[in-house]
Amino acid sequence: MRSLLARLSALAILALPATAFAQAPITIVVNFVAGGPSDLMGRLLAPELSAALGTQVVIKNSAGAAGGIGAAEVARARSDGTTLLLSPIGAMAIQPHFRADLPYKPADFAPICQVADTPVVVMAAPGSPLRGLAEVISRAREANGGFNFGSTGPGSLPHIATVALARAAGVPMTHIPYRGNAEAVTALLRGDVSIFADQPGTLRANNLQAVALLAERRTPEFPNTATAREQGLDLVYSIWSGLFAPAGTPPEFLARAEAACERALRAPAVIEGFQRLATPIIFRNQRDFAAFWNAELEKFRGIVQAAGIRPGD
């Protein structure tokens, strides 16, 4: 009954005339470069959010510092509903425990909705001899520090997950950070790095070779890719993404944006687009997303501190 009442309330909010919420155009800051998973998700959502909110919604890419530059930009923005952030996990749940000089804090944001949660795949270049974790571990041990892995920046989930892999396997690996997904893939194809851990859509879009799935179980999209657990390492990581506003944004706008988010994620074009990205849609409303986000902050506080992971690792 409570779920039904919440849904009816959300529909009622969206049914209000646009004049009830005098709204200028909205900029959604995506904190990674164009062409990556976050950018593509944002561009799928933007037209549906625009239709639901009755105003123009545009995407702006502000990349760098593993998503920190875009997050800081939104943290400093006016809390009037005209600037929002679409961010994956790293900038919002890992960076606060990772960088002492972070120019923002979790309290600078108001969560609106979660939009996705996707497993992490360890991938290699097409034709690479690295077809499983056994080959990765063997090559890393032989290289004795000369085995490079790429990431989307220090403190990103791809960074943390691969450091965890190296430590669980007891082998040295060298971290090479990049500004975003596209640069890391280019480095992988060029041979500058041997592996890269990221969302399945990256592997599919670039015809890369799957090495291991860092998930509880195999997925229908990659039925022939063994999990890390199946290959002897207990590693489970996923990359979630959500929509945030600057702290202090009026509750009326947050409620309207939450309802628009739920509506957008039910749109056929969005469902089809997320399927092409191999990105499962996961909707959480403001309340549930806030609780989930707080739990993730605590989880990664423990992971970063227990492992002693630093920006140079």
Question: pLDDT by residue (tens digit) across 257-288?
Answer: 999 999 999 999 999 999 999 899 999 999 99
Backbone angles phi, psi at 227, to 5 degrees: -75, 165
The percentage of the chain sitting over the pLDDT mark of 90, rounded to a whole number, equals: 80
- What are the structure tokens assigned to 293, written together? 């986000």
Q: Is the pLDDT of residue 45 over 60?
A: yes
Please tell me the predicted confidence (pLDDT) of residue 233. 97
Please tell me the predicted confidence (pLDDT) of residue 98. 85
Lowest mean pLDDT among 95-104, 133-142, 168-177, 185-194: 95-104
Q: Is the pLDDT of residue 142 over 50?
A: yes
**Fold agreement (2-117+239-307, 119-214):** yes
Q: Is the pLDDT of residue 256 over 90?
A: yes
Fold for the domain defined by 2-117+239-307: D-Maltodextrin-Binding Protein; domain 2 (3.40.190)
pTM of the full predicted structure? 0.85
C-alpha to C-alpha distance for 99 and 102, rounded to whole angstroms? 5
- The count of residues in the chain is 313
Q: Is the pLDDT of residue 310 over 80?
A: no
| CATH number assigned to the domain covering 119-214 | 3.40.190.10
Please tell me the predicted confidence (pLDDT) of residue 7. 52
pLDDT band at 13 (very low <50, low <70, confident <90, very high): very low
Q: Is the pLDDT of residue 52 over 60?
A: yes
Report, as an integer, the average pLDDT of 95-101: 89
Report, as an integer, the average pLDDT of 196-213: 94
Please tell me the predicted confidence (pLDDT) of residue 128. 97
Task: Show me where the domains of the chain are located.
Answer: 2-117+239-307, 119-214
Please tell me the predicted confidence (pLDDT) of residue 307. 72
Report, as an integer, the average pLDDT of 67-72: 96
Write down the mean pLDDT value for the chain: 91
Degrees, nearest 5: CA angle 199-82-264: 50
Q: Are 204 and 1 in contact (CB under 8 A)?
A: no
Please tell me the predicted confidence (pLDDT) of residue 16. 42
Q: Is the pLDDT of residue 22 over 80?
A: no
Q: Are 108 and 247 in contact (CB under 8 A)?
A: yes
Q: Are 63 and 117 in contact (CB under 8 A)?
A: no
β-pairing, 83-88 vs 148-151, is unpaired
Please tell me the predicted confidence (pLDDT) of residue 17. 42
Residues 13, 61, 97, 313: is their CA dihedral positive or negative? positive
pLDDT band at 12 (very low <50, low <70, confident <90, very high): very low
Q: Is the pLDDT of residue 21 over 70?
A: no
- Most distant CA atoms of the chain, gap in Å: 66
Q: Are 48 and 269 in contact (CB under 8 A)?
A: yes
Q: Is the pLDDT of residue 79 over 80?
A: yes
Residues 150, 154, 157, 159: is their CA dihedral positive or negative? positive
Report, as an integer, the average pLDDT of 112-132: 97
